[in-house]
Chains A and B, each alone.
Chain A
Amino acid sequence: MTTKDETIDAFGGEFTTANVMLFVKSLERTRTFAEAVEDHRRLEAEFVARAGDNELAVLDTRQRIAETILSLAHEKRAPFDVCREAWNEAVRLGFTGPFERDTSAWFYADCCLYDEKTEEGLAVLEPLIAELERGFEEAKAAQKSTAFYEQELEKLRDLQGALLAQQRGEPSPERSTRRIDEANPPTPEEERSDALWDEFSEACLAVYKTFARTRERSFTDVAADYKRVEAEFTARAGEDEATQDLVLSVKGRIADDLLRAATMLEQPFEVCREAWNEVVRLGFSDLWEQCWMAERYVRACLRTHKPEEGLAVLEPLIAELERGLEAELARRSEARAKGEVPMQAGLTPTYYRDMLSSFVELRDRLEAAAAGKG
């Protein structure tokens, strides 16, 4: 892999593409874990056969499939012994690198949390965390980048915190357990609602695919497609009492997708603003979504030379993120003061810092543009 732009070679590229596309298909709600495993084993058999005497490619293929199956066991909430078996196979085959090792450990430890096998989860995480902490200190001492260690430590420590809290008998605000989920199985109405939503999501994705790569379709045509999807699914959702609550979710999603289309297709400011106003009118589920949508609109304001409009949206959000970061750091500090390892509850400090960094840079550009105009 000598090309500087890091593109994937032909043979590896075929496997990579097939593996990830199959993974995406496996993530569909209606695809069972058993079906997903069967698909991936077929893929494994095909590429092991094609690899022939290339032992590296054979081993790599088996490792990749093992890691994917563990990931799917976690995603699909397979029985605990299945998740454990998938983890054991991944360990037996070895990992392709520290990132894969840490990610796989996280999936397995989260399986442990879900099935309340607390000690098993901690037994996997604790030595890894200790190793990463040593790596961090060594990198720091050698004045090398510590970014990898910080990234891995944050995600593993948050899960460790949740496991320790479970050990103390405290529920995690972010994660359910099998006991809770089995006590609250989905109702037939909820199943109908989920099925309709899945169909609607696919319809939105189909529209997105018509312009996302080429960016050559007219916005008018794209918007018309989205509106047709909206009309169809609001009508269908409205007909069934079980799915009526989806009506506003459908409108909200279409509004989000229209804003995205308007900004990706570089529409005039007025078009972007109208799309943004509709997104705001329908409301946001959470701060994460608000930041995601706002960033698109604000970048459009910069592109269309409307810096004041962008600043009007950005400044209150920056203030809210700063407050959120402060509150989150205080919460974690309080947990540590009690001798506890803090667990995730809402947005992480990394998210707040990264979002603030991005928004502050954007604000600076907007202010410069505004000053240039004046």
Chain B
Amino acid sequence: MRTIFSFGLLACATVALTPLGCGATVRQLAQQDDRPRVPDATAERLRACVDELGGELRGGYYTFDVTVKVDEDGHVADVESKGVPHTELATCMRIALRGMTVPEELLRLRKLRLSESTAPPAERGLVGHPALVVVAIALADLIIEAAPIVVVIAASVEIGKSEIAEAGRKKKDDICTAHLKDCLMSDLAGKRGEHWRATLCYACHKQCRPNKEWPKKPIPLGDELVSCQY
């Protein structure tokens, strides 16, 4: 987890000022080492959280220490946080971070750091189960000001193999068969399919088989459109 940032250092560091919308404003610090930034879309969502809910905090500085856990494919798997004594605000900010599109540069950085590692594969946990290989990357601090409060978002991104990726692709039932069984447990089981002696579930299953996709939209059977949603 990142340590708390002092106000003195904030004042001296290079600042990117990004006034967005009304109320709260956002600043991102660009340190000399050019840490990756929180994406603008996420920064805006975080700003909106503070704008909406920050008024319920007492004046002062708050640091939102957050770790965003990302799987190898760049999807946010989890967000852990501490530091803001307001449940709804913390929830709002976690939701915003959960929706973050992880910048490509972070995934590239991870690959770079893994290749720089001198530990053999076994020690790095690239074999065996259920080890995780994790690279932690600190992001540039995001400062959201909504006088009389200042919220500093000190985020790091941990990118690792998901447990499933580590163990290989998740085993699962044939999609169409699984849906057929579920469909037959639903009200659709008694509905007519493409023929007077055919069940709709069976028709949907036949439509599923070629593309391995249970039909989302109604399927045309004869002159009608019939839904496969159960």
- Which one of B78, B162, B170, B210 lies within 8 Å of A249 (CB-CB)? B170
Q: Are A248 and B190 in contact (CB under 8 A)?
A: no
Question: Is B19's beta carbon under 8 Å from chain A?
Answer: no
Asked if B194 is an interface residue, CB under 8 A from chain A, the answer is yes
| Contacts A9-B196, A280-B77 given; does A212 touch B177 at CB 8 Å | no
Whether A249 lies near B196 (C-beta < 8 A) is no
Asked if B197 contacts A280 (CB within 8 A), the reply is: no
**Chain B contacts for A9, CB-based, 8 A:** 196
Check B185–A151 contact: CB distance below 8 A: no
Q: Which of A78-86, A180-188, A326-334, A343-351 contacts B (4 or more CB under 8 A)?
A: A343-351
Asked whether A245 and B129 contact (CB < 8 A) given A15-B197, A212-B185, the answer is yes
Q: Which chain A residues (259-300) contact chain B, with CB distance < 8 Å?
A: 277, 280-285, 288-290
User: A355 contacts B192, CB within 8 Å?
Assistant: no
CA distance A233 to B218 in the complex (A): 37
Q: Is the CB of B182 within 8 A of A354?
A: no
Distance (whole angstroms) from the CB of A266 to the closest CB of chain B: 16
Determine the distance from Cα of A148 to Cα of B195 in the docked complex, in whole angstroms. 15
Q: Which one of A19-27, A33-41, A218-226 is at the interface?
A: A19-27
At the interface, yes or no: A60 with Cβ under 8 Å from chain B? yes
By the criterion CB–CB under 8 Å, are B164 and A248 in contact? yes
Contact residues in A for B99 (Cβ distance below 8 Å): 312-313, 315-316
Task: Check A339 for interface membership: any CB of B closer than 8 A.
Answer: no
Q: How far is the CA of A289 from the CA of B213 in the complex (A)?
A: 11
- Which of chain A's residues have a CB closer than 8 A to the CB of B126? none
Instruction: Given A27-B177, A281-B77, check contact A7 B184 (CB 8 Å).
Output: no
The interface size of chain B toward A, counting residues with CB under 8 Å, comes to 60
Contacts of A172 in B (CB 8 A): none
Contacts A208-B185, A348-B211; is A283 near B170 (CB within 8 Å)? yes
Distance from B229 Cβ to chain A, minimum over Cβ atoms (Å): 9
Tell me what chain A mostly uses at the interface: helix, strand, loop, or mixed. helix
- Is A100 engaged at the interface, CB distance under 8 Å to the other chain? yes
Q: Does B165 contact A (CB under 8 A)?
A: yes
- Pairwise interchain contact B213-A16, C-beta atoms closer than 8 A: no
**Closest-CB distance, B56 to chain A (whole angstroms):** 16
Are A20 and B163 closer than 8 Å at their CB atoms?
no
Q: Which residues of A contact B210 (CB under 8 A)?
A: 106, 110, 155, 158-159
Residue contact A1 to B196, C-beta cutoff 8 Å: yes
Please, which residue of chain B has its CB at the minimum distance from the CB of A28?
Answer: B177
Pairwise interchain contact B170-A16, C-beta atoms closer than 8 A: no
Interface residues of B in 163-211 (CB under 8 A from A): 163-165, 167-175, 177, 180-182, 184-186, 190-192, 194-199, 201-203, 206-207, 209-211
Binding site for B on A (CB under 8 A): 1, 5-9, 12, 15-17, 19-21, 23-24, 27, 60, 64, 71, 96-97, 99-100, 103, 106-107, 110, 145, 147-148, 151, 155, 158-159, 193, 197, 201, 205, 208-209, 212-213, 244-249, 252-253, 277, 280-285, 288-290, 308-309, 312-313, 315-316, 319, 344, 347-348, 350-351, 354-355, 357-358
